[in-house]
Amino acid sequence: MADQHIKRADVVAFLEMVVQRECAVPERFQLDNGSEFISKELDRCAYENKVVLDFSRQDMPTDNPYIESLNGKFRDECLSVNWFTSLNDVRQKIEVWRNEYNVFKPH
């Protein structure tokens, strides 16, 4: 989704997909305070599935160190070391990085 913003409906759809596909529903989602995470629909979906929405404090990267670490690695290892010639090139290089990160790097 290199060319799209995540919308509130995308977040709700993701939570609903996780609930439908997974054997175990997550106990909580850790979120920042982005507008895509603030909605009555997400509150309702989380409540109905007994998922706690755990919002980090604003401007406190220590509240979500794993995401901040991932964002830094993505920036340093993918975005800062590549020149992109097109949107398709961006998508391909991000997918290569994502695959290497998830398959070959222990975390």
We find that the CATH architecture of domain 1-59 is 2-Layer Sandwich (3.30)
Predicted local confidence at residue 1, as pLDDT: 59
- Per-residue pLDDT tens for 4-42? 778 888 888 988 888 888 777 889 888 888 888 889 999
- Predicted local confidence at residue 3, as pLDDT: 65
Supply the pTM of this predicted model.
0.63
Whether 18 and 26 have beta carbons less than 8 Å apart is answered as yes
* Of 55, 31, 72, the residue nearest 11 (C-alpha): 31
pLDDT tens-place string over residues 84-98: 999 999 999 999 999
Domain extents for the chain? 1-59, 64-107
